[in-house]
A = this chain, B = another copy of it.
Amino acid sequence: MLSKSSLVMQEKPLILVTNDDGINAPGLRALIMVARPLGNVVVVSPDKPQSGTSHAVTMHHPLRLNLIREEAGFAEYSCNGTPSDCVKLAYKIVLKRRPDLLISGINHGSNASINIIYSGTMAAVFEGAMAGVPSIGFSLLQYREDADFSASGIYADRIIREVMHRGLPEGICLNVNIPDLPATEIKGIRICRQAGGTWIEDFDVREDPKGENYYWLKGVFARIGDGDDTDEHALEHHYISVVPVNFDFTDYPAMEEMKRWDFSF
C-alpha cells in the first residue's frame, strides 16, 4: 500500500479534452468543468464546428495550432483541422506523450445508433482507443446552442471516475448518450448495444439564379429492429446509454459463413 506522502506525490492524471462542435461550444465548456477537478487538462479542439466530419483527416492543407490559454494544470489550443487531426496533434506536438484519458464532447446532439459512424466526437474517441488511451465520448440529445449541460456534467463525472478506477478492456471505448432532461428525471446509466438504424436520405432541391439545381442534404432517422437492450431504447426510457464500441469492424459469423464461398460463378 502506498504511504500518504507517495500518494500526495503522485502526478495527477493527464486528461485530453476535445470535441467536434469547436472550441467555443458550450458542450466543450461543460466537459472542461467536469475534467479540471479530476486531473491536469489539455484541450485541443477544432477552431470551427466539425460535426459530421467523421474520421476525416487533413492531408491537402497544413494544420495550425493556436495556444489560447495556459495556467497551472490547464492549457487550451484550437486547431484548424478535424477532431482526428486534433487528437494526433495533441499526442505528438502538444503533449509529446499519450494522455491518461481522452474525453470528447459534450456533443450538441445524439450520437446514438448509426449516428456514431458520422460523428466527429466519436472519431476522436476511436483515435484515443487506437492509441491505447481509455477514451469516452459524451453527447446530449439536444442540438441547441443554449442546451442545458448541468445533468450531463453530473453523469459525465460519474462515468469518468468509474473508467479512471476500472480502466477499459483493450481496444474498447465508450459512446455515452444523455437524454435532454433535468438530473432529477434521469433514471440512471445503462450499458447498451448500438441500436439498428439508418438515415433515410432526403434533399432540399433548389434552383440557383442560373436555373441550375443544387441540393441541401437532410434526412430522417429510422430505427431498424427492436430490443430493450439498445441505446435508443435506454434514451427513450430516460436512461443514459453507454455503448462499449470496438474498431474491429469484422463480422465474425459472416466470416465463417463466407469461408464456404468458392468464387466460381
Pairwise interchain contact B213-A65, C-beta atoms closer than 8 A: yes
**Once bound together, how far apart are the Cα atoms of A78 and B130, in whole Å?**
34
Q: Mark A223-258, 1 if CB is under 8 A from B, else 0.
A: 000000000000000000011111111111111011
Stretch of A7-15, A49-57, A100-108 contacting B (4+ beta carbons < 8 Å):
A49-57
Pairwise interchain contact A93-B203, C-beta atoms closer than 8 A: yes
A159 within 8 A of B: yes
Closest B residue to A205 by CB, please name it.
B93
**Once bound together, how far apart are the Cα atoms of A114 and B247, in whole Å?**
8
Pairwise interchain contact B55-A131, C-beta atoms closer than 8 A: no
Pairwise interchain contact B55-A117, C-beta atoms closer than 8 A: yes
Pairwise interchain contact B54-A172, C-beta atoms closer than 8 A: no
From B51, B63, B166, contact of A214 by CB (8 A): B63
Pairwise interchain contact A196-B258, C-beta atoms closer than 8 A: no
Which residues from chain B contact A88 at a C-beta distance below 8 Å?
A: 201, 203, 217, 219
A185 within 8 A of B: no
From B84, B166, B171, contact of A261 by CB (8 A): B166
Which residues from chain B contact A117 at a C-beta distance below 8 Å?
A: 55, 126, 247, 249
**Once bound together, how far apart are the Cα atoms of A139 and B157, in whole Å?**
43
Closest B residue to A54 by CB, please name it.
B55
A183 within 8 A of B: no
Pairwise interchain contact B265-A165, C-beta atoms closer than 8 A: yes
Pairwise interchain contact A55-B58, C-beta atoms closer than 8 A: no
Pairwise interchain contact A130-B114, C-beta atoms closer than 8 A: yes
Q: What would 6 more interface pairs be, CB under 8 Å, given A54-B55, A168-B254, A247-B249?
A: A54-B54, A63-B217, A161-B265, A169-B257, A191-B261, A246-B250
